[in-house]
Chains A and B, each alone.
Chain A
Amino acid sequence: DTVLTQSPALAVSPGERVTISCRTRESVNTLMHWYQQKPGQQPKLLVYKTSNLASGVPARFSGSGSGTDFTFTIDPVETDDIATYSCHQSGNSDTFGAGTKLELK
């Protein structure tokens, strides 16, 4: 299985820029996707194929990267963005990162 390593929990203040990383050992080309999950809710697709925003997702969310290193950015962070963010690769079967929990400072 392709293991995805995500940055640990992050503490942020509203208005700040936050970056979450996701790394793999083997290339997944551009087949990296990002989801937001709030407690008690199902995941929500935010970014697909590295940098494409899903329908209705605000432009303050973005994604970048290629191969083995990928980044998800929120700029600026809003209080409603407090959630867990998970990366998902579909280049080699399907695997998810462990999730990065965004918390308020």
Chain B
Amino acid sequence: EVQLVESGGGLVQPGRSMKLSCAASGFTFSSFYMAWVRQAPTKGLEWVASISTGGGVTYYRDSVKGRFTISRDNEKNTLYLQMDSLRSEDTATYYCARRYNYFDHWGQGVMVTVSS
């Protein structure tokens, strides 16, 4: 069974950093693109970033370019999202997802609240 378990969320002040992790199991992690998708309270889903199987190619939405870094450790079957210079508009539930052209498996999500 495919499982994706996020961790690392919480309350953080504007301008500070936070790193999210996603532990994957139940499939060959190194064979799949992965992604982070977020959802602000009462809002729709928003793609954040994607990463290739080996980690050498990454994609970001414009609003997080230069602030967020997606990475992966295929030895540890873990996906990461390093978030720097956080803003209030980054407040959301962050989901880790397995990616084909679509997102076929999702984690349960982790809440990130950016507030002073």
Which A residues form the contact surface with B (CB < 8 A)? 31, 33, 35, 37, 41-45, 48-49, 54, 86, 88, 90, 93-99
Q: How far is the CA of A41 from the CA of B43 in the complex (A)?
A: 14
Residues of B contacting A: mostly: strand
Which B residues form the contact surface with A (CB < 8 A)? 35, 37, 43-47, 50, 59, 61, 95, 100-109
Given A31-B101, A43-B95, A96-B106 contact (CB < 8 Å)? no
A54 touches B45 (CB 8 A): no
30 residue pairs bridging A and B, Cβ less than 8 Å apart: A31-B101, A33-B101, A33-B102, A37-B45, A41-B108, A42-B95, A42-B106, A42-B109, A43-B37, A43-B103, A43-B106, A44-B106, A45-B102, A45-B103, A45-B104, A48-B100, A48-B102, A49-B101, A49-B102, A86-B44, A88-B102, A93-B47, A93-B59, A93-B61, A94-B47, A96-B45, A96-B46, A98-B43, A98-B44, A99-B45
Q: How far is the CA of A98 from the CA of B103 in the complex (A)?
A: 17
Q: How far is the CA of A76 from the CA of B100 in the complex (A)?
A: 29
B44 touches A99 (CB 8 A): yes
Shortest distance from the beta carbon of A84 to any chain B beta carbon, whole Å: 9
B47 touches A48 (CB 8 A): no
Q: How far is the CA of A94 from the CA of B60 in the complex (A)?
A: 10
